C-alpha cells in the first residue's frame, strides 16, 4: 500500500468522524452524536461548556475524545474546527452576517480580504518541492485524468486547458458516468488529479478510490485534512476556499497556476518548441479580434 501524504498539515491517514465514533461504546456514541451533527456549534466551547451542553461531565468528554484517538481536548477541538469547515454550507455563511451590519461595499471588501487571506495561507504553506514532484509524475504518466464536479468543473476546465497547452495527454471527467468509465481502465502508469472541497462530491471521491485500487497515482486538491480526498488520495494539497458564503476558488486557481508553471519549466526546451507554434496562432490566428 502506498503511503498517503497530506501536504501542509499532519492529517495523514485521518479517520472520518464516523469511523472514530464507531470505536466508542453505544452510550458514548450517543453522548457525542450532537457534536458530529453540528460541529460548528461546539468548536469554540471549553470542555466544561461542552460537557454541560451534552449533559455529562468534563471527565467523560475527555475520555470520549481519547477514545476517538485524540491525545487531548485541544487536539479534539482542532479537529472539530476542520470538521466545521468541511461541513459548512452556503446558508450558514450567509446567515452569519447581518444584512444591516455593513454596506454592500463592505461586503465586497470582506470577500476580497478573504481571498487575499486564502492566497497568503497558500503562499506560507505550499511545499514547492512537492509540487515539482507532481510535475515529474505529470510527464511520466500515460494519461492524466482530472476529476471534479459541480463548482469544481471550472477548475477542471482550467487545469485541462493549461495542461493541454503543454501537449499533455489530459482526460477530464466531470460527470458520474464518465468518472466511472475512465477510472475503471486506469493502471499504474496513469495519474489522477482530483479536485473537491468541503465534504467532497461522491463521484470524485469514489473515482479516486477506484483509480487508486487499479494502481493509478492519485493527487487530491481540497481544503481540509478531514476531507475524504485527504484520506483516500496518495497525496493531497490543501487550498482554502473560505469565503463570506459559498466557496472562493482564488487559492485553488493559484495552485493550478503554480503547478502549470512548474510543469512548463520542467521540460523547458519542449515547452519553448510548443510555444513557438502557439506564438504564431496568437499573433495571426483568426480567433483574435484585430486591434
pLDDT of residue 99: 66
C-alpha separations of 38 from 35, 41, 81, 88, 92 in Å: 5, 6, 11, 10, 12
> Shortest CA distance to 257 belongs to which of 151, 147, 126, 94?
126
H runs (alpha helix) in 68-201: 73-86, 90-95, 104-125, 128-140, 153-165, 176-184
Provide the pLDDT for residue 2: 44
How far is residue 65's CA from residue 76's CA, in Å, rounded to a whole number?
A: 6
CATH among 1.10.10.10, 1.10.1130.10, 3.40.1440.10, 1.20.1090.10 for 12-87: 1.10.10.10
Q: How many Cα neighbours within 13 Å face the side chain of 156?
A: 24
Residue 103 CA, distance from chain mean position: 32
DSSP state letter for 15 = P
Which residues, including other chains, have CB under 8 Å from residue 64's CB and lie 6 or more apart?
24, 28, 31, 32
pLDDT in the model for residue 97: 67
Domain ranges, ordered by start, for the chain: 12-87, 123-284
CB 135 within 8 Å of CB 267: no
DSSP state of 142: S
C-alpha cell at position 288: 483574435
Q: pLDDT tens digits, the chain, 291 residues: what are they?
A: 344 555 443 344 467 888 898 899 999 999 998 988 888 889 889 999 999 999 999 999 999 999 999 999 999 998 888 888 777 776 776 666 666 667 888 888 888 999 999 999 999 999 999 999 999 999 999 999 999 999 999 999 999 999 999 999 999 999 999 999 999 999 999 999 999 998 899 999 999 999 999 999 999 999 988 889 999 999 999 999 988 777 899 999 999 999 999 999 999 999 999 999 989 888 888 888 888
* C-alpha to C-alpha distance for 159 and 237, rounded to whole angstroms: 15
Domain 123-284 has CATH 3.40.718.10: no
The backbone torsions φ and ψ at residue 4, rounded to the nearest 5 degrees and listed phi first, read -80, 145
Pairing type for strands 217-222 and 191-195 reads parallel
What pLDDT score does 9 carry?
A: 39
Amino acid at each position: 500500500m502506498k503511503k498517503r501524504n497530506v501536504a501542509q498539515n499532519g492529517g495523514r491517514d485521518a479517520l472520518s468522524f464516523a469511523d472514530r465514533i464507531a470505536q466508542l461504546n453505544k452510550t458514548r456514541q450517543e453522548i457525542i452524536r450532537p457534536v458530529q451533527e453540528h460541529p460548528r456549534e461546539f468548536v469554540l466551547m471549553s470542555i466544561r461548556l461542552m460537557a454541560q451542553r451534552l449533559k455529562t461531565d468534563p471527565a467523560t468528554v475527555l475520555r470520549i475524545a481519547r477514545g476517538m484517538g485524540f491525545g487531548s481536548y485541544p487536539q479534539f477541538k482542532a479537529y472539530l474546527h476542520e470538521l466545521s469547515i468541511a461541513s459548512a454550507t452556503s446558508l450558514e455563511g450567509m446567515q452569519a452576517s447581518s444584512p444591516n451590519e455593513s454596506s454592500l461595499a463592505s461586503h465586497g471588501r470582506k470577500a476580497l480580504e478573504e481571498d487575499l487571506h486564502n492566497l497568503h495561507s497558500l503562499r506560507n504553506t505550499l511545499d514547492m518541492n512537492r509540487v515539482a514532484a507532481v510535475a515529474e509524475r505529470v510527464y511520466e504518466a500515460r494519461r492524466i485524468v482530472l476529476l471534479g464536479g459541480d463548482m469544481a468543473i471550472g477548475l477542471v476546465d482550467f487545469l485541462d486547458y493549461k495542461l493541454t497547452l503543454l501537449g499533455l495527454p489530459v482526460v477530464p471527467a466531470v460527470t458520474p458516468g464518465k468518472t466511472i468509465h475512465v477510472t475503471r481502465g486506469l493502471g499504474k502508469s496513469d495519474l489522477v488529479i482530483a479536485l473537491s472541497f468541503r465534504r467532497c462530491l461522491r463521484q470524485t471521491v469514489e473515482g479516486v478510490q477506484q483509480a487508486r485500487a487499479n494502481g493509478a497515482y492519485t493527487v487530491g486538491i481540497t481544503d481540509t485534512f478531514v476531507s475524504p480526498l485527504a484520506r483516500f488520495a496518495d497525496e493531497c494539497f490543501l487550498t482554502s476556499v473560505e469565503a463570506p458564503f459559498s466557496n472562493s476558488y482564488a487559492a485553488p486557481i493559484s495552485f493550478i497556476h503554480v503547478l502549470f508553471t512548474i510543469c512548463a519549466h520542467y521540460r523547458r526546451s519542449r515547452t519553448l518548441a510548443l510555444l513557438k507554434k502557439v506564438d504564431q496562432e496568437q499573433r495571426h490566428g483568426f480567433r483574435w479580434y484585430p486591434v
